Structure 1
Amino acid sequence: MKRTITHLADGRELIYFDRRDDADRSAVDSRDLPPRPPASELRRDPLTGEWIAIAGHRQGRTFLPPAAECPLCPSRPGRPTEIPASDYDVVVFENRFPSFSTSPGVYEQVGGLSEVRPGVGRCEVVCFTSDHDASFSSLSPDKVTLVMDAWADRTAELGAMAGVEQVFCFENRGAEIGITLSHPHGQIYAYPYVTPRTRRMLEMAEEHAARTGGNLFADVLAAEREAAVRVVGENAHWTAFVPAAARWPFEVHLYPLRHVPDLPALTPEERAAFGPLYTDVLRRLDALFGVAMPYVAAWHQAPVRTGREMSYLHMELFSIRRASNKLKYLAGSESAMGAFVNDVLPEEAARMLRAATPPDNNKISN
């Protein structure tokens, strides 16, 4: 893998990840860009102890432009984009509209009981391919491995930044999910705190270890493999299964068989084995109803400084589509109380996914 660092016209960092050592990355960003926005601020909710990022500058971010104006496609004569090169394999760059950053800002207490502090951190965009009409499910195994290498690279670098407590790699796909750009891409958030979901899972892992002496995540994986009824697919290094207490209509978790804390800890063999299983699961999701499934794909990694021995790297993939013409909306119980109700039996979801025949990518309607 060749890794080339350059900078965009406003000073943001851009990194090319290439399979070929002779890739030419000398193109320069010629745009006249406005100054980078100030960092967001964090406000602590005194009722839950959770930190909320207030980032008013994100209201102006690009929203569903036509393909001819996509900012994630390669640049072409007369049409410069966020990627100066005329083609690329995988690209990572600092988000122009970040939720967290190292830019200076002014922070004042706002009254009440809410503590305020700078939203220090970093947000990056990961472009999986230069092909605007592709999808992650259509990537070749070696291309998925290159994406994983980029994720691992960024996890290690961002985790070493001052003030960063957790690194989160994810992809949002589909207008139903709320994407603002349709080009195949994901994001990376370097949080200045450990997220509420991770804190809760680590609390449960600590309770489980105190009670049984085992690792909660490893024991969940072992139990699902033994039960088998919710397993969707597996290979020598990974298992994909629908969790018994799935929140979402179609939800699949992918675990490496070996206990590792984060993406950088995976071996080359484990990284190479992930792509074929993951893209198969994605194609099965698309095959369920013959339409491109909206989804969120979320990597759960160990925090930078806490809970690393308890943590277990895994991906949680879920879709809000519950039928061919129905979506699951977060209504009163889920939105107000965080109490989920799932309309699809997890065992039935796993059966449907195992039975689905992955179609050719060009036969899926978007």
Structure 2
Amino acid sequence: MPVPDPRGLPPVEPLCETRRDPLTGDHVTITAHRNARTFLPPAGECPLCPGGPASEIPDARYDVAVFENRFPAFDARTPGVPPAVDGAAVFERARGAGRCEVVCFTDDHSAILPRLPVSRFRTLVEAWADRTADLSALPGVAQVFVFENRGVEIGVTLHHPHGQIYGYPFVTPRTGRMLEQAARHRASTGGELFGDVLAAERAGARVVLPGEHWTAFVPAAARWPVEVHLMPHRHVPDLVALTDAEREEVAALYKELLRRCDALYDTPLPYVAAWHQAPIGEGRGLVRLHLELFSVRRAADRIKYLAGSESGMAAWINDVPPERQAARLRDVG
């Protein structure tokens, strides 16, 4: 049953819209209300700590908690918008329907994720799969994205250990490119792109963590100074499709991968952990579930900034050879 909110906050009035870039075909989301979202509050005012005066979670304690984001990028309640910007058909426009949720990994504000027990990671996998199933069933949701941003260098606005889940009303540009590449590969070779990539990586020098059901590796064409992919050995489109054995193993491997990433520079690594899942209505046999974890830290005291080539032309330049980084991640184990 609903729990009364004693904070006296104004009602949520999301204003989400998407505009399509006519030069690239990409969707860009405009959300003016998110500019007022909570920004690095002191620990005593953290909205993710349980039961406090500013808390989104009324319980006195919890293991894992999931709730709807108060400052969503996409929301089914957002009002309708005209179909074009300035009435020009070339500037397509739509309401930003969808859903955004927050996933709290622990009720301990100062906890460090890789130091939590494997059982907590197992609970997280179950929560991600459960929410993926529910969001995938919502009208208008085309793709579900599970992710975590960690570290001020990445741009987090809350220090409490947490991640997010987006239910996009469109297929994201990155996934769209994967679909195109996978379809092209199947047409030219008859093979499954992700399976062929995984087989080549498992036979190479960039494997970090081998498992019975999963392998973690630094990709041959890594964009980021620290970049690791964690991929299942069989084709599954999303977290929902994982077996119990696959869920059990990925919980342990993910914890170990995060521990090794933190050991690289003897300090918590700023990173984005992105779970790529197949879209809901297309490409279920083409895009394989996998984790992409990457960091902007290129040395203990240096950050990789996305400058002209990356930001202006999406042409990546990586100063750290993938083979060297894979060796370092093996060594810190």
> Where on the TM-score scale, by shorter chain, does this alignment land: which range?
over 0.9
CA contact (8 A) 1:30 1:80 kept: no
Bigger mean CA offset, 254-263 vs 105-114: 105-114
Whether 1:147 and 2:140 are equivalent positions in the alignment is no
For 2:92 and 2:249, the matched residues in 1 are separated by 45
TM-score normalized by the length of structure 1: 0.88
1:217 matched to which residue of 2? 194
Counterparts of 1:7 and 1:114 in 2: how far apart (Å)?
41
Aligned partner of 2:85 in structure 1 is: 110
* Corresponding residue SS for 2:126: helix
Residue 81 of structure 1 corresponds to 55
Q: Using the TM superposition, give the Cα deviation of residue 7 of structure 1 relative to its aligned residue in structure 2, in angstroms.
A: 4.1
State the TM-score, normalizing by the size of structure 2: 0.97
Instruction: Give the stretch that moved more between structures: 287-296 or 134-143.
Output: 134-143
Per the alignment, residue 258 of structure 1 pairs with 234
Whether the aligned pair in 1 keeps the contact of 2:277 and 2:288 (CA below 8 Å) is yes
| CA distance, structure 1, for counterparts of residue 260 and residue 130 of structure 2 | 29
Q: Is the 8 A contact 2:262 2:268 kept in 1?
A: yes
**Which stretch has the larger CA shift, 267-276 or 248-257?**
267-276
State whether structure 2 residue 268 is matched by structure 1 residue 289.
Answer: no
Question: What is the alpha-carbon distance in structure 1 between the residues aligned to residue 159 and residue 2 of structure 2?
Answer: 24
1:91 to 51, 65, 81: 65
Paired position in structure 2 for 1:363: none
In the other structure, the counterpart of 1:23 is none
SS at match of 1:169: strand
- Cα deviation, residue 136, structure 1: 2.0
Does the CA-based 8 Å contact 1:39-1:120 persist in structure 2?
Answer: no
Pairwise CA distance, 1:80: 4.5
Q: Aligned partner of 2:196: which letter?
A: D
Q: Whole-Å Cα distance in 2 between the matches of residues 39 and 141 of structure 1?
A: 39
Q: Which residue of structure 2 lines up, in the alignment, with residue 100 of structure 1?
A: 74
Q: Percent same amino acid among aligned pairs?
A: 59
> Structure 1: how far apart are the matches of 2:231 and 2:2?
35
Q: Aligned partners of 2:17, 2:178: CA distance in 1, in Å?
A: 26
CA distance in 1, matches of 2:2, 2:159: 24
Query: 1:126-141 counterparts in 2 under 5 A?
Result: 126-141=103-118
Q: 3-state SS of the aligned residue for 1:194?
A: coil
* Separation of aligned partners in 1, 2:108 and 2:14: 32
Q: Is the 8 A contact 2:148 2:272 kept in 1?
A: yes
Tell me, what secondary structure is at the counterpart of 1:306?
coil
TM-superposed CA distance for 1:103, in Å, is 1.1
* Residue 38 of structure 1: aligned partner: 14
Structure 1 runs, 4 residues or longer, greater than 6 Å off = none
- 8 Å CA contact 1:29–1:80 kept in 2: the answer is no
Give the Cα separation in 2 of the matches to 1:239 and 1:253: 8
Q: Distance in 2 between matches of 1:170 and 1:80?
A: 24
Q: 240-249 or 279-288, which moves further after superposition? A: 279-288
CA spacing shift, 1:282–1:115, aligned 2, 3 Å: same
Q: Does the CA contact (< 8 Å) of 2:277 and 2:289 recur in 1? A: yes
* Structure 2 CA distance for aligned equivalents of residues 267 and 348 of structure 1: 33
CA distance in 2 between counterparts of 1:173 and 1:292 reads 9
Provide structure 1 residue ranges, at least 5 long, that are not aligned to the other structure.
Answer: 1-5, 9-27, 358-366
- Residues in 1 aligned to 2:10 and 2:38: alpha-carbon distance in whole angstroms: 14
Question: What SS does the corresponding residue of 2:164 show, helix, strand or coil?
Answer: strand
1:329 aligns with 2:305: yes
**Secondary structure, aligned partner of 1:289:** coil
Is 1:121–1:190's contact at 8 Å kept on the other side of the alignment?
yes
Q: CA deviation at 1:68?
A: 1.3
Corresponding pairs, count: 330
Q: Distance in 2 between matches of 1:334 and 1:75?
A: 43
Is 1:315 equivalent to 2:275 in the alignment?
A: no
CA deviation string 1:3-23 (max 9, x = no partner)? xxx546xxxxxxxxxxxxxxx
Q: Does 2:212 align with 1:236?
A: yes
Shift in Å, 1:281: 1.2
Task: Report if the CA contact (8 A) 1:208-1:215 is conserved.
Answer: yes
CA contact (8 A) 1:171 1:297 kept: yes
Q: Distance in 2 between matches of 1:282 and 1:102?
A: 34
Q: Give the SS at the match of 2:157.
A: coil
Instruction: Note the alpha carbon deviations across 1:227-266, whole angstroms, 9 max, x for none.
Output: 2x10001221110000000000010000111211100000
1:140 maps to a residue whose letter is P
2:98 to 87, 99, 121: 121
**Structure-2 change in CA distance of 1:213 and 1:106 (3 Å):** closer
CA contact (8 A) 2:222 2:318 kept: yes
* Rounded Cα–Cα distance in structure 2 between residues aligned with 1:116 and 1:310: 29
Q: Say if 2:40 is the partner of 1:64.
A: yes
